[in-house]
Amino acid sequence: MIPIRSWLVSAVVLQDGRRQPRTLLLQRAKAAMYGEWSYVAGSVETGETAPQAIRRELIEETGLVPRRLYSADFCEQFYEAQRASICIVPAFVAFVDPQAAITLNTEHDDWRWVSLSQAIDLVPFGGQRRLFEHVRENFIRRPPACWLEV
């Protein structure tokens, strides 16, 4: 039997109010995925809900506060070989002020705003690329369903 764990959350960050939205990518500075481009993600702490955890992670990793936060209606899933388990990660979409200053913590050493197409080319994993495609279809090409807002 393979255990299933859900202890992480992730968020695609989009600039609010732009005709051609851009998404924020962060370059990893730590050993885990060093040098790779990714998005905001992190662990859910004891007593937190998933939306609380991703709001905290967004502030900790970038200094950004979302204007609007949605469930992406998408869960990333992958096999964690080190833990011999399947990890399921609820994803969120955070709309932020396009003029807001970004302040990185020590987890990342660089950041950039890119188109979703560029993001798809830059991230290392298929699940990440599928998430960006899902966000493009369900949050850019059409307005998000209001009941997904958290």
Give residue 111's pLDDT band: very low, low, confident or very high (50, 70, 90): very high
Average the pLDDT over 101-118 and give the result.
Answer: 96
Cβ atoms 96, 64 nearer than 8 A? yes
Number of residues written out for the chain: 150
- Dig out the tokens for 94 from the structure: 């955070």
Give residue 126's pLDDT band: very low, low, confident or very high (50, 70, 90): very high
Residue 33: pLDDT over 90: no
| Gap between the Cα atoms of 73 and 52, Å rounded | 16
Residue 56: pLDDT over 90: yes
pLDDT at 21: 86
∠81-120-10 over CA atoms, to 5°?
55
| Gap between the Cα atoms of 54 and 88, Å rounded | 15
- Dig out the tokens for 114 from the structure: 């890119």
SS3 (DSSP) at 148: helix
pLDDT at 20: 83
pLDDT at 1: 93
Average the pLDDT over 50-70 and give the result.
Answer: 98
- Dig out the tokens for 145 from the structure: 């369903």
* Cβ-based burial of 37 (10 A; exposed 0-12, middle 13-18, buried ≥19): buried
- Dig out the tokens for 17 from the structure: 């109010």
> Tens of pLDDT along 6-30?
999 999 999 987 778 899 999 999 8
pLDDT at 19: 78
pLDDT at 17: 77
Identify the structural domains of the chain with CATH numbers, from first to last: 4-148 (3.90.79.10)
CB contact set of 56 (below 8 Å; sequence gap of 6+): 42, 45, 48
* Mean pLDDT across the chain: 95
